[in-house]
Amino acid sequence: MLELPTTLPEGFRYFPGYFDASDQRAMVALLRDVVKQAPLYQPVMPRTGTPFSVQMTNCGSLGWVSDRTGYRYQREHPTTGAPWPPMPEIMLKLWEDVAECLAPPEACLVNFYGEGAKMGLHQDRDESTFEAPVVSVSLGDTALFRVGQTTRGGKTQSITLTSGDVIVFGGAARLCYHGISKVMWGSSPLLSAGGRLNLTLRRVTPF
């Protein structure tokens, strides 16, 4: 594990290249199966209905959704009404390895970045507990990840996330502002049609 000079709160961990090329291909195959059962859809912002540029789906017992009425976790896919597919074993194993959390993850949000997609600075605070970390896996095209402090307008730094990288936000870093400022389209051969997938493993309810 590499220690970067960082101005971030305690609880941030970076594991560059955690998954090798063969693991990454296996994960893409598992995710192709997930999206067959729970298709990617385009969420919209609460109230305004402005579409996200990122497409989403989930696996696990709960999934994060956004629509005109708000952000929440729910048991069903918003368009098919079906339960989310189970979380693949490799993701549960990753959590056990890096999360330092006694309880298993309940949700895995899958974000797909097509050409031009990005995600503005935000906090993840729709969970009923912030005791557990959020564990993120990057697959496919390289992205510029921006992370700040726990208050808006704090000092930010950029980290280049490449395919196979894992980052963990626990402790005081759990409520840091963060976003994806850009994706270098075509930088990775992993996804045949291009783009970037990000998986975030989350605990939603207290344990």
What strand order describes the sheet that includes 143-147?
A: 119-122, 178-183, 143-147, 157-161
> Shortest distance, CB of residue 153 to ligand MD3, whole angstroms?
16
- 190 makes contact, choosing from ligand MD3, Fe ion, none, with CB < 5 to 8 Å by partner type, with none
Closest to Fe ion by CB, 33 vs 67, is 67
Residue 180, interface with ligand MD3 (CB under 6 A)?
A: yes
Q: How far apart, in Å, are the Cα atoms of 164 and each of 120, 123, 142, 170, 191?
A: 22, 23, 10, 20, 13
Residue 198, interface with ligand MD3 (CB under 6 A)?
A: yes
Closest to ligand MD3 by CB, 37 vs 66, is 66
Cα Dmax for the chain:
45
Note the residue count of the chain.
Answer: 207
List 113's β-bridge partners, or say none.
Answer: 196
Write the CB contacts of 186 (distance below 8 Å, at least 6 apart in sequence).
141, 194
**Quick one: which of 105, 169, 195, 201 contacts ligand MD3 (CB under 6 A)?**
169
Closest to ligand MD3 by CB, 18 vs 169, is 169
Q: How far apart, in Å, are the Cα atoms of 199 and each of 31, 57, 163, 182?
A: 10, 10, 11, 17
Residues 97-126 that bind ligand MD3 (CB under 6 A): 109, 111, 119, 124
**Quick one: which of 8, 98, 101, 134 contacts ligand MD3 (CB under 6 A)?**
134
Residue 136, interface with ligand MD3 (CB under 6 A)?
A: yes
Residue 124, interface with Fe ion (CB under 5 A)?
A: yes
Residue 57, interface with ligand MD3 (CB under 6 A)?
A: no
**DSSP readout, 16-73?**
TT-S-HHHHHHHHHHHHHHHHHS--B--B-TTT-PBPSSEEEEEESBEEEEETTEEEE
Distance separating alpha carbons of residues 43 and 30, to the nearest angstrom = 22
The window from 30-38, 85-93, 169-177, 185-193 that contacts ligand MD3 (CB under 6 A) reads 169-177
The window from 19-27, 43-51, 97-105, 174-182 that contacts ligand MD3 (CB under 6 A) reads 174-182
Q: How many residues contact ligand MD3, by CB under 6 A?
A: 14
> Shortest distance, CB of residue 12 to Fe ion, whole angstroms?
13
Interface residues with Fe ion (CB under 5 A) are: 124
